[in-house]
Amino acid sequence: MSENQELRNKVKEHSDKLAKLGMNLAKKQFSYKVERKKSKEYWVDRIAEVQRYNEKGLEYYNEIHSIMKIINKEEAQMFLLRIGKFHQLVLELIGIMEKIRENPAISDSKDTQKSQWSKDIGNKLTEQSDKCLQFERDMNIAFREFYEKYIKDILE
């Protein structure tokens, strides 16, 4: 088997696995948007949902890293750093959500006399969910560019 054919087979194998992981993620239709509910059950469920999505997302992005490593180790290392940053951002989001879970009344949007601490937590939650969403978009753009530059020609 030629070296090119072996490379193509490896990339194809990882690409197929990545496609399956991507379809599973797409089925979940996950959103970083968080509702301002004062129910403890909502926060328990929402935290669990974010944690499950994070696990599946990390699996997906690690598979991307595996493909990239076959083709360009330097760019793969840069992507690995992005995976770490993504995980860190989601953990920070979960930390903020845990604070709200402990005292769900702070997220009540109808409370006009919120403390400054409650307002700050609410703002941090919004900012952090926006950061997670934007960072994930950037990761996907980086992979699409890598795909166009390297992988597309290999698979054709």
pLDDT at 154: 85
Distance between CA 24 and CA 48 in Å, rounded? 17
Output the pLDDT for position 3.
Answer: 78
pLDDT of residue 119: 82
Q: Please check the confidence at residue 85 and state whether its pLDDT lies above 60.
A: yes
pLDDT tens track for 24-38: 988 888 999 888 888
**Which sign does the torsion angle of CA 148, 139, 47, 129 carry?**
negative
User: Which of the two residues, 114 and 15, has the higher pLDDT score?
Assistant: 15
pTM: 0.88
pLDDT digit string (tens) for 7-66? 889 998 989 999 999 999 888 889 998 888 888 999 999 999 999 999 999 999 999 999
Q: What is the pLDDT of residue 104?
A: 81
Q: Which one, of 57, 56, 80, lies nearest residue 67 by Cα?
A: 80
What is the DSSP track for 17-51? Answer: HHHHHHHHHHHHT----------HHHHHHHHHHHH
* pLDDT for res 81: 97
